[in-house]
Structure 1
Amino acid sequence: MSQTYLTTQELAERIKYDPRTIRNCLKDSVLLEGKHYIRPFGGRKILYVWERIEEDMKKTASPDWIPMANGGVCHG
């Protein structure tokens, strides 16, 4: 299956968030390395996997998620 890889700027344009919000608030709390983004070739650059982000955005809160005060979720 082919996946669509996006830079932080491209992701920000698709989900209507500021790139700084993605980097500072969503990355590593809601968007998880290995699931929602990768670091190709072990470098500093981050590429987001659009299909996985889109899938999680469509989900409603499930019983194995615990809402956090900062707006994120704890993955049980």
Structure 2
Amino acid sequence: MNQTYLTTEQLSERIKYDPRTIRERMKDSVLLEHRYYFRPFGGRKILYIWENIEQDMLDQADASAAGNIPMAKGGVCRG
């Protein structure tokens, strides 16, 4: 399984958000540990898993286009 690991700065370049916004507002509310990021070797450095982030962004875009409302735990309200 090939995955792309990104630093906060690299992720911010790809999704066009400020690195501080990712660290302070998105991490742990939108981007959850073990699904979207991890701390290698138990350290302070954070690496984001690009494929998981990209897939969920695309899934939410598809759901929004179809008039569906994404739910917090990944479900969809069809309304």
Which TM class, normalised by the smaller chain length? 0.7 to 0.9
User: What's the CA shift string for 1:20-66, capped at 9, x where partnerless?
Assistant: 0000000000000000000000000000000000001011256671x
Using the size of structure 1 for normalisation, the TM-score is 0.82
Match for residue 56 of structure 2? 56
> Whose relative contact order is higher, 1 or 2, with alpha carbons under 8 Å and at least 6 apart?
1
Matched, 1:8 2:4: no
Unaligned runs of 5+ in 1: 66-73
- Among all aligned residue pairs of Structure 1 and Structure 2, give the percentage whose two residues are the same amino acid: 66
Equivalent position SS for 1:29: coil
Q: Where do 4+ consecutive residues of structure 1 move more than 6 Å?
A: none
TM-score by length of 2: 0.79
Q: What is the number of residues matched between the two proteins?
A: 68
Task: Find the structure with the greater CA-based Rg.
Answer: 2
- Structure 2: state its 5+ residue gaps: none
- Structure showing the higher helix proportion among its residues: 2
Structure-2 change in CA distance of 1:58 and 1:40 (3 Å): same
* Partner in structure 1 of residue 20 of structure 2: 20
RMSD: 1.6
